[in-house]
Amino acid sequence: MRIGVFIPELVRHLFKKPATVDYPFIKQELPPGFRGSPYLKPETCIVCRACERDCPAEAIEIISINEAEKRFKMIIHNDRCIHCAQCVDSCPTDAMNMDTKFEISDYDRHNLKMEWEYVRAVIKPKSAEPKS
């Protein structure tokens, strides 16, 4: 046991810059690959509904608007989304993507909803390999 073992460390830090960041005024850089919110690139979506089926929070909703025209509407309920990126992994055509936004809070949960209305794309899905 030694008295005051901590003192040198404390006094040394008295003259150093604080380790904390003045957050809302100074933003920190996010690492690439940070999982933010999912968004859709409608031109590549083939409406296979894999994302809808695998989403653990049931945050993705795909509605058929016009069967004949093959028009669909996708709603991502970002208020329910748990930002797991499973939809990105499940999507066979890279139509689902993640951005790196995290300051998405809002007073009204309906403002978080995102919608896309689009015609089904006709692309051949990639061979069914899990993403790496």
Partner 1 sequence: MKFQIPIGPQHPALKEPIGLRVMVEGEIIRDADLRLGYNHRGIEKLAEQKTWIQNIYLTERICGICSHSHTTCYVQGVEKLMELQVPRRGLYIRTLVSELERVHSHLLWLGVAGHEAGFDSFFMYTWRDREIVMDILETITGNRVHYGINTIGGVRRDLDELQVKKILDSLDILRKRSEYYKNLGTTEPSFVARLAGVGYLSKEDAIALCAVGPTLRASGVPRDVRKDDPYAVYDEIPFEVCTADTCDVLGRTVVRIKELFQSYNMIEFMLKNLPEGPIAVRAPRRAKPNEVVSRYEAPRGENIHYIKSNGTDKPERLKVRAPTLGNYAATIKMLKNGFIADVPLIFAAIDPCICCAERAVALVDARTGEEKVVPMLALKQLSQKIYGLNARKREVEWPL
Partner 2 sequence: MATLKTFIYLIVYPGLLFLFIYSTFVEWYDRKLYARFQNRMGPTHTGKAGILQPIADFFKLMAKEDITPERADKGLFSALPAFGLAIVSTAMLLLPVWNYSLEKPSFTSFNGDLIVMLYLLSLPTFIFFLAGWSSTNLFSTVGAARVLTMLFGYEVPLFLSVLSPAILAGSWRMAEIAAFYRARPLLILVNLLAFFIALICIQAKLERTPFDIPHAETEIVGGTFTEYSGKKLALFRLMMDVEMVVAAGLLATVFLGGFPANPWIGLVSFILKTLFVIFFLSLIRATTSRIRVDQVVSFSWKYLAPLAVLQLLIVILVKGFIS
Residues that bind partner 2 (CB under 8 A): 4, 6-7, 10-11, 13-14, 16, 18-20, 22
Closest CA to 42 of 77, 91, 101, 9: 91
Q: Which of 31, 33, 39, 84 binds ligand SF4 (CB under 6 A)?
A: 84
Which window, 40-48, 104-112, 113-121, 123-131, contacts partner 1 (CB under 8 A)?
A: 123-131
**17 or 110: whose CB is closer to partner 2?**
17
Q: Please work out the total of residues on this chain that contact partner 1, with binding judged by CB under 8 A.
A: 29
Contacts of 126 (CB under 8 A, 6+ apart): 92, 93, 94
Both tokens of 70, joined, read 């093959």
Where do the DSSP E strands lie in the chain?
Answer: 38-40, 60-66, 71-77, 96-98, 113-119
Gap between the Cα atoms of 87 and 84, Å rounded: 8
User: What SS3 state is found at 115?
Assistant: strand
Least Å distance, CB 49 to partner 2, is: 49
Q: Which of 28, 30, 31, 48 binds ligand SF4 (CB under 6 A)?
A: 48
Gap between the Cα atoms of 18 and 14, Å rounded: 9
89 binds, among ligand SF4, partner 2, partner 1, none (CB under 5 to 8 A by kind): partner 1
Both tokens of 12, joined, read 């040394």
**49 or 71: whose CB is closer to ligand SF4?**
49
Site residues for partner 1 per CB under 8 A: 1-3, 5-6, 9-10, 19, 31, 33-35, 53-57, 82-86, 89-90, 128-132
